[in-house]
Amino acid sequence: MFIYTVQPGDNLSLLSRRFDIPVSKIAADNGLSSPNNLAVGQNLVIMSDIMRYRVEEGQTMYSIAREFEIPLNTLLEANPDVNPIALQIGDEILIPQQREFSLRPAVINGYAYPTITDYALNCSLPSLTFLSPFSYSISPRGEIFAPNDDAMIEKARNAGVMPLMTVTNIYEGTFSTEVMSEILADTEARENMISNILAELAAKDYYGLNLDIEYISPDDRESYNSFLREISERLHAAGYILVTAVAPKYRADQQGILYESHDYAVQGEAADYVVIMTYEWGYTFGYT
């Protein structure tokens, strides 16, 4: 298996011939609803260990091996019928897709609203590590308000999935910059919020906290970093894990209220896991 980046002129029929995989399988493996509309730069998963490649002008077996970052001997062994000193433009050779990396278990988190159907939840739970019922909301005084998550927690435990308490800065139906600013500026409100979270974690026997704080004022960046360090220390001392959700950034100094206060380095140090919300780039109302 490897990742292929679509090039100008590519289509599924061409890729099918190149990788010797049926068009229908490439489409199914990549969830392509419109397989005839590939975009240049789009990444496709190719469930094969061999790529067919046509030699271009000026190429040698050595230059091709370097281009695909594989040992020359490996390339020669994969093409025993090819004369390496008589390579011609248009010759077809096989490129082994070797990847050396250590495998580790995938950790999968799923968010779910209390309105999720039993069917959808039961279908999803076997694939999950964590289930994060969405969501607790907060007030400017650090109070927390629970969703109707008891049934989801019970189903998660029965399926061997670890439930996470999901806390957001949603106030009166929307993510609130102002509420989080008030909490960060008020020592008592911040203590109330952390204490209330710890009490709820214990009362419902959650495995840990999933903290989804969005639209933080850029002026609160360092205050939020301090808050993360404090709540991380308190959670770990009590035996819980911390998961944070962050907006997807393509550079550290990306501008915008959704991005500026999410300090990837600090969150990576404070949290046990970080959810990068790349769905912000892919859903109906997402950012492009």
Q: Which residues are catalytic?
A: 214
Q: How far apart are CA 146 and CA 212, in angstroms?
A: 14
3 CA to centre of own chain:
16
Q: Any idea which residue has 């106030």 for tokens?
A: 171
CA angle 110, 154, 158 (to 5 degrees): 85
Distance in angstroms (rounded) separating the CA atoms of residues 185 and 104: 41
Residues with Cβ < 8 Å from 103, sequence gap 6 or more?
A: none
- The C-alpha atoms of residue 178 and residue 140 are separated, in whole angstroms, by 8
